[in-house]
Structure 1
Amino acid sequence: MTDTKSARIYFGGVPVDRHLSVRIRELAASVVTELSAQLSAYASLPEEELRGDITQTTRTCIRLFTHMLRTGEPPAHGQLRELRESAGQRADEGVPLEALIDAYHLGAEVCVDRVIATVEPGDLPAILTVQRLLLRYLRTIISEVSAGYLEARLAAIHEEQDARRAMLSALLTASPAEIAARRAAVRLPASYAVISLEIAPHPDELNPAVDALVAARRKLRRIRTELEGGAPAVVLHGLSPDGGLVLVPLDDAVGARPTENLAERSWGALSSLVGQLGRAARAEITGGVVPARPDAVAPAARLATEICQIARVSGRPAGIYQLGDVAFDYQLTRPGPARDYLASRLQPLANRPDLLETLRVFLACGLDRRRAAGRLHVHPNTVDYRVRKASALTGLDPTSSGDLPMIHAAFTAHAADAGGLN
């Protein structure tokens, strides 16, 4: 029944708030027992904490609901500070948010089960009133608890990210990384796979009907999620939507020399990782990788970036490459008079992009005129004509075994100049 004069709610002739207030300690103990019995996240907490902070927070929750039963009003923001701070502590302890929210609902369930046993046949209106108040109460405190949890979790994430960025910076500047590693709570491995990535635009970034900045951020978030969730060890990274550096700890003790190849197992894992990143990004990703010990990450990063650039400008497909994969092109792209000379052999085609592209595709198709024609969407006779015209202008004949290596080298040097390789 409900006393309309005082607006108090009764079960079995006794105010419901009194049913709760006289049994706060008993109810809180029962709730904590059920939390540790039914929720694994709470079962793993120390007994001292369960009987201390969590029991105290449970008592506070019961008192706040008792007050709401008397007044009909939900707790004010200032009254919820303790619950907010307690939620922050659960975040620091690694209790999942879903477990925390489940705990509040389980606590409400335990308390309701205890007092519902006192109801009488005429108490149905009172039961409905209590139900409405309980739902409103849960909505109020869950909102505050979630905010407190997320505030603490975001602060911890930012602190963790700052520490890892500092560790990455120390490695890239050849500074002692041991202190930064301790602050980041990251074990410094024997060696890293230093990976430089170039990330192609997602189709949405090129769609004028879509905000390109938003599409780029979404792409980057998917890549970071894949990196942070798919690796067995802590992966350091400094990425933008266009690319950046990734440091993957290696089990193999490699990296004494920049020319050293990765072990087959590590190479397979890294190839798989870059493929997964590309699928997550829904964009092509090209990478260059160099194994390095922690004190040699800085020069390895520079070399990995060059390998990545060479793989791109030489027209290789998306994927990951070591120095051995691009060694010939790497040497050809070193700045100097030889590269300048090689690039100049294609200069006569500078104003004829159709001839330059036809010659490039003709080479890529293994000198097969029909395949080249299909790729260029022209007649095979057009390919023949353009190749002959390019040969006449450059003095280089792709069908000549003597000229073919020179043409390949000229394209590599030309691509290096166009791609800004220094």
Structure 2
Amino acid sequence: MPPPVPAVSPRLRSRLRTLARTQPRAVERTYDTLLSLEGYSVLSAAARKDIFSSITFSAGLWFQCLLDGAPPGPDVMDQIAAFARRRVHQNVPLRSLLRAFRLGARELWRTCTELAEAEPALAHELLFDISPYLLDYFDAMAEHIAEAYLDEQHQQARWRGSLLQQLYDLVFHAPDDAARFRETVEALGLDATLPRIALAVDLDLRDHAPSVREDALDRFALGAARHFDSKPDALVRVWHRERLVFWLPCVRGDSMTRNDQRVAEQAAALARAEPRVRSIGIGLMNEGAHGWAASVEEALKAVDFAPRGSGADDDSESGSEAGNMVRVHRFSSIAIEESVRSSANVLRYLVSLAEQLATEADLLATLETWFASGQRRRQTAQALGVHPNTLDYRLERIETLLGAKLDNAHWIARLDIALKLRGATQGSERDARKKEKGRVAAKKAKRAAR
């Protein structure tokens, strides 16, 4: 609560009553100054009007307390707290709000000093009675405002967390409920019609205990928002299938290709800056609950089916951090393979091509190296360490076994996809075996502990 109000002499009371009626100058000076503060400078016209009204009310309240000889009552203090709560929803930082209060106090004291200069007989009372009260009054008000602000911020965080959980449930478990999806997205202050791209980030959090992992994810999300030129609240995230998933807002009007390229470049910069990032998968631009879910699946596939231990290709961004290769994988680079996977017969046919070559030593490695070398024979022979004639024999043997023509674009395309599918399948199988070994080892350790 504000401190006790000092008694005011009749002469000063008369001057304060006049100032209370003519205090718009102090209000306008305060208003003009705080519009340069963080949070205030980007407010809407309606919010600025609310700010001006709040300053006017606060200045009038101080004069009224001096004239009445009593601090503000509970109803008035509730009204002051309501100002603070509104600033939370207007995205005004607390430090800016408190700075605004200090500016207001300074302007009111400036008004008092101008009065003292005009009437020196009042200087002693203004300096020794009114000045300490003004400082104590605004300290008490700042404390009251900070408490209300932080309480509202806490309530908002809980409310936002509840809405986000509802959003995740809709995307992953009830994507057909378009109306609730739109309502939930809009309740979060987001545009439900804006397309988004999902990112699946494989993070190394082994040295973070579960109790502090959420804080680590919050800090990472703030850094990610800077790299993606996005406000933190616009970067919707969830921990899903052992990956940190982001839904990034796209640039409205840009094509899928341009958004895909832009996000890939930003993701590569994020991966280089954050040593905990092992890999990042990027889905395709989409919208609506079904679209958000589909983009997540694509981003996860881009990570899971990425080639193991290979260098960056034309559709990947790479960087080196302390000697560790970090890769960004786009679903767009494996879209054709994924289309093939949806057809069981086509998939079996392409896989069989690679399996047929695997029956003879060196043929599969030769074809993989030939593709990796850009289908250039001299570079392929050098990479394999064989004579060009040996390479020619192997390539002819491949054509004979498969009935293929390695100078035919259609055969080149299908063999390239067949090798990629085989590599992805082998990588998934290795991962599955590794996880299974880990589960078995954990069970043995648990039995041994008993």
TM over 0.5: same fold? yes
Report the residue type matching 1:300 in the other structure.
A
Confirm or deny that 1:287 pairs with 2:282. yes
Distance in 1, Cα, partners of 2:44 & 2:259 = 36
Deviation sequence 1:83-117 (CA, Å, 0-9, x none): 33321133335556455334322321232123223
- 2:263 corresponds in structure 1 to 273
Alpha-carbon spacing, 1:80–1:162, altered in 2? closer, same or farther (3 Å):
same
* d(CA) in 2 for partners of 1:219, 1:48: 36
1:197 aligns with 2:206: no
Paired position in structure 1 for 2:85: 88
Alpha carbons of structure 1 residues 53 and 133: separation in structure 2 relative to 1, 3 Å: closer
Asked whether the 8 Å contact 2:225–2:231 carries over to 1, the reply is no
Cα separation, 1, equivalents of 2:206 and 2:395: 36
Provide the residue aligned with 1:377 in structure 2: none
Deviation at 1:48, TM superposition (A): 8.7
One-letter amino acid of the counterpart of residue 307, structure 2: V
Deviations 1:361-402 (A, max 9, x none): 7853447899899xxxxxx79x538xxxxx9xxxx9579663
Q: Measured at CA, do residues 47 and 140 of structure 1 come closer, stay the same or move farther in structure 2, by a change above 3 Å?
A: closer
Query: Distance between the aligned counterparts of 1:56 and 1:26, measured in 2?
Result: 12
Matches within 5 A, 1:335-414: 364-366=372-374, 384=385, 397=394, 402=399, 409-410=418-419, 412-414=421-423
Is the Cα–Cα contact under 8 Å of residues 305 and 424 in structure 2 kept in the other structure? no
1:250-308 CA-to-partner distances (Å, cap 9, x unmatched) read 756xxxxxxxxxxx73421332134224424535533131546x374277347624652
Q: Measured at CA, do residues 64 and 367 of structure 1 come closer, stay the same or move farther in structure 2, by a change above 3 Å?
A: farther
Asked if residue 312 in structure 1 is aligned to residue 343 in structure 2, the reply is no
Contact 1:398 1:407 in 2 (8 A): no
Give the Å deviation of 1:181. Answer: 1.7
- The answer to whether the Cα contact below 8 Å between 1:201 and 1:242 also exists between their aligned partners in 2 is yes
Amino acid at match of 1:297: G
Is the 2:12–2:122 contact (alpha carbons within 8 Å) kept by the matching residues of 1? no
Distance 1:174 1:113, change over 3 A: closer
Could you tell me how far apart the structure 1 residues matched to 2:51 and 2:182 are?
33
Alpha-carbon distance in 1 for matches of 2:396, 2:129:
91
CA-atom RMSD, angstroms? Answer: 6.0
Does the Cα contact within 8 Å between 1:17 and 1:66 map onto a contact in 2? no
Instruction: Tell me the residue number matched to 2:444.
Output: none
- 3-state DSSP class of the match of 2:385? helix
Alignment of 1:89-168 (within 5 A): 89-93=86-90, 97=94, 100-116=97-113, 117-118=115-116, 120=120, 127=127, 138-156=138-156, 158-160=158-160, 162-163=162-163, 166-167=166-167
Alignment partner, residue 297 of structure 1? 291
AA of the residue aligned to 2:259: A
Q: Kindly state the Cα deviation for residue 148 of structure 1 after the two structures are TM-superposed.
A: 2.4
CA distance in 2 between partners of 1:338 and 1:306 (Å): 25
Letter in 2 for 1:287: I
Letter in 2 for 1:151: D
Alpha-carbon distance change, 291 to 39 in structure 1, aligned in 2, over 3 angstroms: closer
Structure 1, unmatched stretches of 5+, are: 1-7, 253-263, 350-355, 374-379, 386-390
Whether the 8 Å contact between 1:9 and 1:126 is mirrored in structure 2 is no
Q: Aligned partners of 2:95, 2:237: CA distance in 1, in Å?
A: 29
* Residues paired across the two proteins, number: 372
- CA pair 85-230 structure 1, distance change in 2 beyond 3 A: closer
Other-structure match for 2:447: none
Change (3 A) 1:131 1:267: farther
Q: In 2, are the aligned partners of 1:192 and 1:249 still within 8 Å (CA)?
A: yes
Residue aligning to 2:425 = 416
What is the DSSP-based 3-state SS (H/G/I as helix, E as strand, rest coil) of the residue aligned with 1:326? helix
Letter of the 2:98 counterpart: I
Matched, 1:326 2:334: yes
The whole-number CA distance in structure 2 between the counterparts of 1:331 and 1:44 is: 50
Secondary structure, in 3 states, of the residue corresponding to 1:313? coil
Deviations 1:324-368 (A, max 9, x none): x4244335656775577567679899xxxxxx9999678534478
- Residue by residue over 1:17-69, the C-alpha shift from the partner in whole angstroms, topping out at 9 and shown as x without a partner, is 969976684476554444445544599458996797654444445577999x9
Q: Given residue 177 of structure 1, which amino acid in structure 2 is its aligned partner?
A: A
Work out the CA distance in 1 between the residues paired with 2:14 and 2:357: 92
